[in-house]
Homo-oligomer: A and B are copies of this chain.
Amino acid sequence: MGLKFRPVDASFYELFSESAGHMVTGAGLLAEMLAEGADRDAVASRMRDAEHAADETTHRIIKQVNSTFVTPFDREDIYALASGLDDIMDMMDEAVDMILLYEPSVLPKELSDQVEVIQRCAEVTVASMPRLKSMADLSEFWIEINRLENQGDKIFRRLLASLFSGAYQPMDVLKLKDIVTSLEGAIDAFERVANTVEQIAVKES
């Protein structure tokens, strides 16, 4: 008679990688949403699926932290990291939703610049999650996110100035301001995740 092994719980590290993986998917869908000739209804529907999948991963992390006696780092930090990642997804979902609902007649090129920053943020975030295990080389992560956030901030401010320059109709300004603010919000949400990771690393070091 063989031994029965209980399947090992998916580790927190794997769940955080899974969560960050949804951000990569979401950022890709944002880029598709802005592409010329995109089927916006279809992309928005896939975004909703991605957002639900991200929600589920978040719930699994919360459930696991509640049912585990020893956690790899402080319980509140796990909550903060999980809900921080979830916030990013909510902002990306909101941006896609607004593009669908508002049907802006123009999409300034700089929107794609914002989305490129978001895609790069998602890539460095997913790459950093496995490193939470060894706590090695995490500073590269938050330094790069801070750099990207600065870059995003410059694009955002340039976009606002351009929206209010008189080159756009009031209705387009109304629509685009909400959209670029959501995208900037997603980048800020990545920065909050990077700050959380930095705090965890400082505590554990």
Chain A: residues with CB nearer than 8 A to chain B?
A: 97, 101-103, 157, 160-161, 164-166, 169-171, 173-175, 177
B160, B165, B171: the one contacting A166 at CB < 8 Å is B171
Closest to A164 in B: B102
In the assembled complex, the Cα of A157 lies from the Cα of B48 at a distance in Å of: 14
CB distance from A153 to the nearest CB of B (A): 11
If over half of A's interface residues share one DSSP class (helix, strand or loop), that class is named, otherwise mixed; here it is helix
Residues of B within 8 A of A166 (CB): 171
CB <8 Å contact, B175 and A171? no
- Is A101's CB under 8 angstroms from B174's CB? no
How far is A97 from B153 in the complex, measured between Cα atoms in Å? 12
CA distance A151 to B184 in the complex (A): 29
How distant is A175 from chain B, measured CB to nearest CB, in Å? Answer: 6
Q: Nearest Cβ in chain B — how far from A124, in angstroms?
A: 24
Excluding A101-B161, A103-B161, A164-B171, 10 further A-B contacts by CB distance (< 8 Å) are A103-B164, A103-B165, A166-B171, A169-B170, A170-B171, A170-B174, A171-B173, A173-B174, A174-B174, A174-B177
A101/B160 in contact, CB under 8 A = yes
Residues in B with CB closer than 8 Å to A170 are 169-171, 174
A169 to chain B, nearest CB (A): 8
The chain B residue sitting closest to A165, CB to CB, is B103
State in angstroms the CA–CA spacing of A165 and B174 once bound together: 12
Q: List 13 contacting pairs A-B, 8 Å CB cutoff, sorted by A.
A: A101-B157, A101-B160, A101-B161, A101-B164, A102-B161, A102-B164, A103-B165, A170-B170, A170-B171, A171-B173, A173-B174, A174-B174, A174-B177
A169 to B170 Cα, complex, angstroms? 9
Which of A102, A164, A166 has most chain B Cβ within 10 Å? A164
Provide the residues of chain B in CB contact with A103, threshold 8 Å.
161, 164-165
